[in-house]
Amino acid sequence: MAEGVPTWEEIARDHGRFLYSVAYRLAGNNDDAQDLVQESLLRIRRGLERYEPGSLEGWMARIVTNVFLDEVRRKKRRPVDALPDDPGRVLPPTPAADEVQTGLSDEIQRALGELPEDFRVPVVLCDVSDLSYEQIAAATGVPIGTVRSRIHRGRRMLRAQLTAAGVTGP
Amino acid sequence: MTDARDFLATDMLSAYLDGELTDTERAEVEAQLAESSEWRAELDEVRGARTMLRAVADQDAPEGFWDAVMAGVVTADDAPVEAGIEAGVEAEDEATAAATVVSLDEKRRGPGRWIATAFAAAAAVALAVIIVPQRDPVRPDVATAVVQHGAQGSDLGDPIGTITPVGPLAGFRR
């Protein structure tokens, strides 16, 4: 491994808060964030041999994003759609008691969850991961002009959701 | 007369807030903001969302989160299926993909559940290797055909001339 490249344990220790924040905002809850972080750390461990020292958080954010988008694609390939003859399955899931939370963070999380992934991912990478548009374009594989447009539209959607929920400011 | 600013898109406003515009673009946006109350309102709108999200960007993981994650990674580190994954072996067929897919919709079953899934994938591959060669046996049975032909060709001392032409074996699939 190249000199100066941290181990995956050091990454977990020193950048765990960053990893968790991005994963939590993308996934929407702690359980899924845990899966996301765990799989991301596995990929980080496997990728460290090829990692060249640079923007470590940009690299980690790209990995977390890829894990998240892989999962989104798998869901789309095998949608767990409600069966027409099973009306109970069309009901939205009821959050468990320990998932019912209050506060701005949770209002924002709910609003983020309403955004389609195409908009949620660039907004999270911009405002939670603090990546540049160029880094977001690299992480998501879309042109930088599309990144710009999606961040703007995503923020407008987010604001509309928050306003509808009665949240007007921090 | 058409002003160059007529072609400005409001999505430049987020890029403006993020410092992602060139000097020329920034000057154009600021000129537009000075003139247009609609642009100012939209700037306030996206600035509010941006400010709120950034205010809560850093999130502490709940207690026990990292213990579970680290245990899961270490366990996966020791799993034999890992070697296959690292060598670029990826499951493409439906059966194996179904075994490896991990849905975030599933409720938690503890830190080792991905590992269990990986073992399931390995088992599916091993099972396929064992089963596939047995799925399409030769008809008729090769051992029986060899015994029959051998008996015809050796009992009368002229193994070639006395062989009765048998033609293609009945039911033999080309």
Write down the ipTM of this complex: 0.80
Q: Cβ separation of A38 and B55 shorter than 8 Å?
A: no
- Which of A95-109, B40-54, B145-159 has the lowest average pLDDT? B145-159
Residues B30-45: tens digit of each pLDDT: 999 999 999 999 999 9
Listed ranges A73-82, B102-111, B122-131; the one with the highest mean pLDDT? A73-82
- Per cent of chain B over pLDDT 70 is 40
Q: Provide, as residue numbers in chain A, all residues whose Cβ is less than 8 Å from the Cβ of B102.
A: 35, 39, 71, 74
pLDDT at A117: 93
Q: Is residue B132 scored above 70 in pLDDT? A: no
- Per cent of chain B over pLDDT 90 is 30
The two structure tokens encoding residue B127: 């099972």
* Distance from C-alpha of A152 to C-alpha of A129, rounded to nearest angstrom: 16
Q: Model confidence at B124, in pLDDT bands (50, 70, 90)? A: low
pLDDT at B25: 95
pLDDT at B59: 82
Listed ranges A79-83, B111-115, B132-136; the one with the highest mean pLDDT? A79-83
Please, what are the domains in chain A? 1-83 (1.10.1740.10), 101-170 (1.10.10.10)
A23, A57, A50: which is closest to A39 by C-alpha?
A23
Residues A105-126: tens digit of each pLDDT: 889 999 999 999 999 999 999 9
Of all residues in chain A, the one with the smallest CA distance to B68 is A34
pLDDT at B58: 85
DSSP state of B69: H
Within 57-76 of B, beta carbons closer than 8 Å to A belong to 57-62, 65-66, 68-70, 72-73, 76
Within 67-126 of A, beta carbons closer than 8 Å to B belong to 71, 74-75, 78, 80, 104-105, 108, 112, 123, 126
Torsion from C-alpha of A119, A125, A128, A130, nearest 10 degrees: -130
Q: Is the pTM of this model over 0.80?
A: no
Helices (H) and strands (E) in chain B, counts: 8, 0
* Distance from C-alpha of A77 to C-alpha of A143, rounded to nearest angstrom: 25
